């Protein structure tokens, strides 16, 4: 052998050898690099014919020697076994042998290469163990240059998963044909992208032999191979089809729950009592007005958010639930960071450890602020109704009593001069008219209540004239109020329900008088505006608070004041609004508490678009 050939052999990672074909397979030639491989000199193999055989691992010797017989029938053979190295360690070796005829000696000899595969075997061992624990099968593949990975070895439940046998896979030599076509490109890119040292995981679908789709997860480990330019891929593959299915079902049901929770504005929370760590769903955080927190929420955080007046009740309820392991259900207020107060309904269960010690609470929180408001409004409206009945009886009784009194006087045959009799009669008449108005008002309300809109009887009415007439009448009857009037010069004839519009004006004028001190001014203005005729009645009276301004047009609503002298049913402005709206108009109020109020309404001019 020339020097160059010797040099080549010595620098190869594989030891090249020639040995006897049979017997103790004694060495005839061993390349120099055997020293680096396992520490021996080549001569040691050549001088002692039994050297190789004697250094085989006792557990492997029999299998290896028996296996070697195959070389005579097949012409080549590969085997893997442990061999005692000079340093006393067993190394895993891979032999690849070929039977050759030496024309010089005329004898058959074995020519082979020897590789140290200890590292790979250890990896395999790790993976096999791993396979026992978590995966269904493990495989070992190699690739060189731009070639795809070739399967060199595979072990485990390949068949139950894929329907193929280990032999099928080895024959195919490559996994890619099994990969679902939609995932093939991704898997291929993943495999080609692996570099030595990588520990990665990929999930993809495979198509089984009987054309079923299964999901697998592969944990891959990439290493440098024994041959230069070779990459080794060790993969532990787990069938995750069921897991995927369960995951999907979970996701579906979670999505469903999340959506339902979203619609119901139901927040969820969990609290680890032992570590005082709480997890709040996004909705819970939203209800509590918190920014998305990236830390766990503590009990102190929660209690700080509870309305100070409700803290005692919340703490007692929590204490009872933890003490007795009973359910926790409470309604309380919370104060948001921006100061808003909300009402929440909380429900939770307590989970205990085996010793019965409470360890966790799982609960829901429902924002019931709206409900609370509706309840309050209902309660208010119930109260207003009862108050209405009381005031109505009073309002009706007063004129009835007056009518009764004066008519009794007249009927009693008393000797009253004719002027006085006339005066009594006119009082009776006025009170009967007042009664009629109250009853008319009530009838209108009951009509509106039962869903019927106000029936209007339109006629051509000079609204300017009506205003002038009514103001004059109020001026005449008033006890000390001054009236100012600002009206268009020309008459303005509009199609209106005269009686109802008169009622609107009467109500506004009588309120102005009722809720302002005698001697103060009531000013009435009316003008044609943009597409409408606008009327205003302003007084310098008690005025209205912003809250009451909102509500004076509500049915039965009366402002609660210490001074209850002003009679009324709380129906006037309600009817004003309904009547004006029936005319497709609009009504509003401007007012300052203590300084006076200005009530306005506008009616669309004929032909104007409302
Ligand atoms: P009432 O018959 O009680 O006067 P209204 O519907 O006419 O009923 O008015 C409702 C409430 O609005 C009144 O009880 C009163 O408190 C308030 N209000 C009405 N007009 C005025 C006004 N001009 N100034 C101050 N408050 C008023």
Lowest mean pLDDT among 122-131, 217-226, 382-391: 122-131
**Which residues have CB under 8 Å from 215's CB, separation 6+?**
203, 204, 205, 239, 240, 241, 243, 244
**Which residues have CB under 8 Å from 150's CB, separation 6+?**
141, 142, 143, 173, 174
Say if residue 173's pLDDT is above 70.
Answer: yes
Q: How far is the CA of 573 from the centre of ligand 1 (A)?
A: 7
Atom number, ligand 1, closest to the C-alpha of residue 570? 8
Spatial separation of the C-alpha atoms in residues 589 and 579, rounded to whole Å:
16
Atom number, ligand 1, closest to the C-alpha of residue 541? 24
Question: Is there a contact between 346 and 363 (Cβ–Cβ < 8 Å)?
Answer: yes
Atom number, ligand 1, closest to the C-alpha of residue 559? 16
Question: Is there a contact between 145 and 229 (Cβ–Cβ < 8 Å)?
Answer: yes
Lowest mean pLDDT among 41-55, 146-160, 323-337, 417-431: 146-160
Say if residue 354's pLDDT is above 80.
Answer: no
Torsion of CA 248, 253, 255, 257, to 10 degrees: -170
Instruction: Please report which residue ranges of 55-201 form alpha helices under DSSP H.
Output: 58-68, 70-74, 118-133, 158-162, 166-172, 181-193
Name which residue sits closest to atom 23 of ligand 1, judged by CA.
512
| Average confidence score pLDDT of the chain | 86
Spatial separation of the C-alpha atoms in residues 525 and 493, rounded to whole Å:
17
Which helix or strand (DSSP H or E) is residue 519 part of? none
Residue 157: helix, strand or coil by DSSP?
A: coil
Return the best residue to mutate from 392, 524, 568, 595 for the ligand 1 pocket (most ligand atoms within 8 A of CB): 568
Q: How far is the CA of 570 from the centre of ligand 1 (A)?
A: 7
pLDDT band (50, 70, 90) for residue 608: low
- What the block records as the tokens of 585 is 């108009």
Tell me the C-alpha to C-alpha distance, in Å, between residue 139 and each of 116, 142, 152, 237: 19, 10, 8, 8
The full DSSP string for 231-297 is EEEEEEEEE-HHHHHHHHHHHHHHHHHHHHHHHHTEEEEEEETTTTEEEE-HHHHHHTTPPPPSSPB
Q: How far is the CA of 450 from the centre of ligand 1 (A)?
A: 24
Atom number, ligand 1, closest to the C-alpha of residue 507? 7
Question: Is there a contact between 205 and 215 (Cβ–Cβ < 8 Å)?
Answer: yes
Atom number, ligand 1, closest to the C-alpha of residue 539? 23
Return the best residue to mutate from 434, 573, 590, 597 for the ligand 1 pocket (most ligand atoms within 8 A of CB): 573
Say if residue 438's pLDDT is above 80.
Answer: yes
Atom number, ligand 1, closest to the C-alpha of residue 512? 23
- Phi/psi class of residue 466: alpha, beta or left (left: φ > 0; alpha: ψ in -120 to 50)? alpha
Question: Is there a contact between 56 and 38 (Cβ–Cβ < 8 Å)?
Answer: no
Atom number, ligand 1, closest to the C-alpha of residue 516? 24
Say if residue 471's pLDDT is above 90.
Answer: yes
Residue 383 CA to its chain's centroid (Å):
40
**Which residues have CB under 8 Å from 545's CB, separation 6+?**
593
Proportion of the chain above pLDDT 70, given as a percent: 92
Question: How many CA atoms lie within 13 Å of 427's alpha carbon, on the beta-carbon side?
Answer: 18
**Mean of pLDDT values over 318-322:** 92
Question: Is there a contact between 459 and 497 (Cβ–Cβ < 8 Å)?
Answer: yes
**Which residues have CB under 8 Å from 584's CB, separation 6+?**
603, 604, 610
> Which pLDDT does position 224 carry in this prediction?
86
Atom number, ligand 1, closest to the C-alpha of residue 542? 25
**Which residues have CB under 8 Å from 9's CB, separation 6+?**
16, 31, 32, 33
Q: How far is the CA of 502 from the centre of ligand 1 (A)?
A: 17
Q: How far is the CA of 464 from the centre of ligand 1 (A)?
A: 24
> Which pLDDT does position 372 carry in this prediction?
87
Q: How far is the CA of 356 from the centre of ligand 1 (A)?
A: 64
Lowest mean pLDDT among 48-52, 69-73, 339-343, 353-357: 353-357
> Which pLDDT does position 596 carry in this prediction?
94
Name which residue sits closest to atom 4 of ligand 1, judged by CA.
568
pLDDT band (50, 70, 90) for residue 239: confident
> Which pLDDT does position 102 carry in this prediction?
84
**Which residues have CB under 8 Å from 373's CB, separation 6+?**
none
> Which pLDDT does position 561 carry in this prediction?
66
- What the block records as the tokens of 445 is 């309300």
> Which pLDDT does position 290 carry in this prediction?
82
> Which pLDDT does position 268 carry in this prediction?
85
Highest mean pLDDT among 117-121, 240-244, 442-446, 468-472: 468-472
Q: Which residues pair with 542 in a beta bridge?
A: none
- What the block records as the tokens of 350 is 């307590």
> Which pLDDT does position 55 carry in this prediction?
94
The full DSSP string for 193-246 is H--TT-EEEEEEEEE-TTS-EEEEEEEEEEEE-SSTTEEEEEEEEEE-HHHHHH
Q: How far is the CA of 7 from the centre of ligand 1 (A)?
A: 116
Say if residue 132's pLDDT is above 60.
Answer: no
Spatial separation of the C-alpha atoms in residues 572 and 581, rounded to whole Å:
14
The single-letter DSSP state of residue 515 is T
Torsion of CA 95, 99, 100, 101, to 10 degrees: 140
Q: How far is the CA of 12 from the centre of ligand 1 (A)?
A: 108
Q: How far is the CA of 435 from the centre of ligand 1 (A)?
A: 19
Name which residue sits closest to atom 13 of ligand 1, judged by CA.
558
- What the block records as the tokens of 129 is 């163990």
> Which pLDDT does position 409 carry in this prediction?
87
- Phi/psi class of residue 265: alpha, beta or left (left: φ > 0; alpha: ψ in -120 to 50)? left
Atom number, ligand 1, closest to the C-alpha of residue 569? 2
Residue 23: helix, strand or coil by DSSP?
A: coil
Which helix or strand (DSSP H or E) is residue 367 part of? strand 358-367
Nearest to 546 by CA among 514, 499, 509, 593: 593
> Which pLDDT does position 585 carry in this prediction?
94
Measured over the CA atoms of residue 572, residue 576, residue 582 and residue 586, the dihedral's sign is: negative
Say if residue 135's pLDDT is above 70.
Answer: no
Question: Is there a contact between 157 and 139 (Cβ–Cβ < 8 Å)?
Answer: no
pLDDT band (50, 70, 90) for residue 128: low
> Which pLDDT does position 123 carry in this prediction?
67
Residue-wise pLDDT for 257-306, tens only, equals: 677 667 777 888 889 998 999 988 888 988 998 876 677 889 999 999 99
**Mean of pLDDT values over 121-133:** 61
Atom number, ligand 1, closest to the C-alpha of residue 571? 6
Name which residue sits closest to atom 12 of ligand 1, judged by CA.
552
**Which residues have CB under 8 Å from 514's CB, separation 6+?**
566, 568
Tell me the C-alpha to C-alpha distance, in Å, between residue 365 and each of 268, 272, 275, 328, 469: 6, 17, 21, 11, 62
Atom number, ligand 1, closest to the C-alpha of residue 558? 14
**Mean of pLDDT values over 122-146:** 70
Q: How far is the CA of 575 from the centre of ligand 1 (A)?
A: 12
Question: Is there a contact between 545 and 551 (Cβ–Cβ < 8 Å)?
Answer: no
Atom number, ligand 1, closest to the C-alpha of residue 568? 2
Which residue would you say has higher pLDDT here, 141 or 454?
141
Output the pTM of the full model.
0.44
Lowest mean pLDDT among 225-239, 255-269, 372-386, 542-556: 255-269
Atom number, ligand 1, closest to the C-alpha of residue 561? 16
Say if residue 481's pLDDT is above 80.
Answer: yes
Spatial separation of the C-alpha atoms in residues 455 and 333, rounded to whole Å:
46
Say if residue 609's pLDDT is above 60.
Answer: no
Q: How far is the CA of 505 from the centre of ligand 1 (A)?
A: 14
Q: How far is the CA of 466 from the centre of ligand 1 (A)?
A: 22
Tell me the C-alpha to C-alpha distance, in Å, between residue 185 and each of 172, 176, 236: 19, 9, 20
Q: How far is the CA of 482 from the centre of ligand 1 (A)?
A: 19
Name which residue sits closest to atom 25 of ligand 1, judged by CA.
543
Helix crossing, 418-449 with 572-582: angle to 10°?
60
Q: How far is the CA of 567 from the centre of ligand 1 (A)?
A: 10
Instruction: Write phi, then psi, for 101 (nearest 5 degrees).
Output: -100, 125
Residue 384: helix, strand or coil by DSSP?
A: helix
Lowest mean pLDDT among 2-11, 57-66, 228-237, 517-526: 2-11
**Mean of pLDDT values over 321-345:** 91
Name which residue sits closest to atom 16 of ligand 1, judged by CA.
559
pLDDT band (50, 70, 90) for residue 254: low
Q: How far is the CA of 475 from the centre of ligand 1 (A)?
A: 20
Q: How far is the CA of 94 from the centre of ligand 1 (A)?
A: 105
Say if residue 479's pLDDT is above 90.
Answer: no
Return the best residue to mutate from 545, 558, 578, 599 for the ligand 1 pocket (most ligand atoms within 8 A of CB): 558
Residue 436: helix, strand or coil by DSSP?
A: helix
Q: How far is the CA of 557 from the centre of ligand 1 (A)?
A: 8
Which residue would you say has higher pLDDT here, 35 or 414?
35
> Which pLDDT does position 451 carry in this prediction?
66
Say if residue 528's pLDDT is above 70.
Answer: yes
Residues within a 6 A CB radius of ligand 1: 507, 511-512, 515, 539, 541-544, 552, 557-559, 568-574, 597
């Amino acid at each position: 052998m020339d020097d160059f050939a010797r040099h080549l052999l010595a620098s190869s990672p594989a030891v090249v050898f020639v040995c006897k074909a049979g017997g103790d397979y004694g060495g005839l030639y061993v390349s120099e690099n055997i020293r680096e491989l396992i520490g021996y000199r080549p001569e040691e193999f050549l001088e002692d014919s039994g050297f190789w055989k004697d250094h085989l691992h006792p557990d492997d010797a029999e299998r290896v020697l028996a296996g070697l017989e195959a070389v005579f029938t097949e012409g080549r053979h590969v085997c893997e076994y442990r061999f005692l190295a000079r340093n006393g360690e067993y190394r895993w070796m891979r032999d690849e042998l070929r039977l050759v005829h030496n024309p010089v000696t005329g004898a058959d000899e074995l020519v082979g290469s020897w590789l140290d595969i200890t590292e790979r075997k250890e990896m395999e061992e790790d993976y096999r163990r791993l396979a026992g624990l978590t995966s269904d099968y493990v495989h070992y593949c190699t690739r060189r240059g731009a070639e795809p990975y070739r399967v060199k070895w595979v072990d485990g439940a390949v068949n139950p998963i894929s329907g193929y046998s280990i032999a099928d896979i080895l024959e195919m030599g490559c996994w890619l044909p099994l990969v679902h076509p939609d995932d093939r490109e991704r898997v291929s890119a993943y495999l080609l992208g692996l570099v030595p040292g990588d520990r990665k995981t990929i999930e993809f679908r495979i198509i089984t032999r009987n054309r079923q789709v299964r999901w697998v997860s592969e944990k891959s480990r990439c290493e440098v191979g024994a041959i230069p330019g070779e990459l080794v891929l060790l993969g532990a593959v787990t069938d995750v089809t069921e897991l995927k299915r369960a995951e999907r079902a979970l996701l579906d049901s979670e999505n469903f729950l999340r959506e339902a929770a979203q619609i119901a504005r139901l927040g969820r929370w969990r609290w680890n009592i032992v570590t005082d760590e709480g997890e709040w769903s996004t909705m819970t955080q939203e209800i509590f007005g918190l920014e998305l927190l990236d830390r766990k929420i503590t009990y102190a955080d929660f209690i700080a958010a509870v309305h100070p007046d409700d803290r005692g009740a919340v703490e007692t309820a929590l204490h009872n639930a933890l003490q007795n392991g009973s359910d926790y259900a409470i309604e309380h207020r919370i104060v948001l960071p921006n100061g808003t107060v909300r009402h929440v309904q909380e429900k939770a269960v307590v989970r205990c450890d085996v010793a019965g010690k409470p360890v966790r609470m799982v609960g829901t929180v429902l924002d019931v602020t709206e409900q609370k408001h509706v309840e309050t409004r209902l309660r208010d409206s119930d109260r207003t109704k009862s108050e209405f009945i009381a005031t109505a009886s009073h309002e009706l009784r007063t004129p009835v009593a007056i009518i009764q009194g004066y008519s009794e006087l007249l009927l009693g045959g008393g000797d009253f001069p004719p002027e006085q009799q006339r005066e009594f009669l006119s009082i009776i008449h006025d009170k009967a008219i007042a009664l009629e108005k109250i009853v008319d008002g009530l009838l209108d309300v009951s009509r509106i209540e039962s869903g019927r809109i106000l029936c209007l009887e339109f006629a051509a009415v000079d609204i300017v004239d009506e205003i002038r007439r009514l103001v004059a009448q109020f001026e005449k009857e008033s006890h000390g109020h001054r009236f100012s009037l600002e009206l268009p010069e020309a008459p303005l004839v509009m199609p209106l329900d005269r009686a109802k519009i008169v009622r609107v004006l009467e109500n506004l004028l009588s309120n102005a008088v009722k809720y302002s001190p005698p001697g103060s001014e009531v000013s009435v203005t009316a003008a044609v505006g943009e597409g409408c005729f606008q009327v205003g009645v302003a007084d310098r009276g008690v005025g209205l608070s912003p809250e009451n301004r909102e509500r004076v047009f509500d049915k039965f609503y009366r402002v609660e004041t210490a001074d209850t002298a002003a009679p009324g049913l709380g129906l006037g402005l309600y009817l004003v609004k309904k009547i004006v709206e029936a005319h497709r108009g609009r009504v509003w109020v401007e007012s300052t508490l203590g300084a006076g109020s200005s009530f306005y309404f506008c009616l669309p001019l004929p032909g104007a678009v409302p």
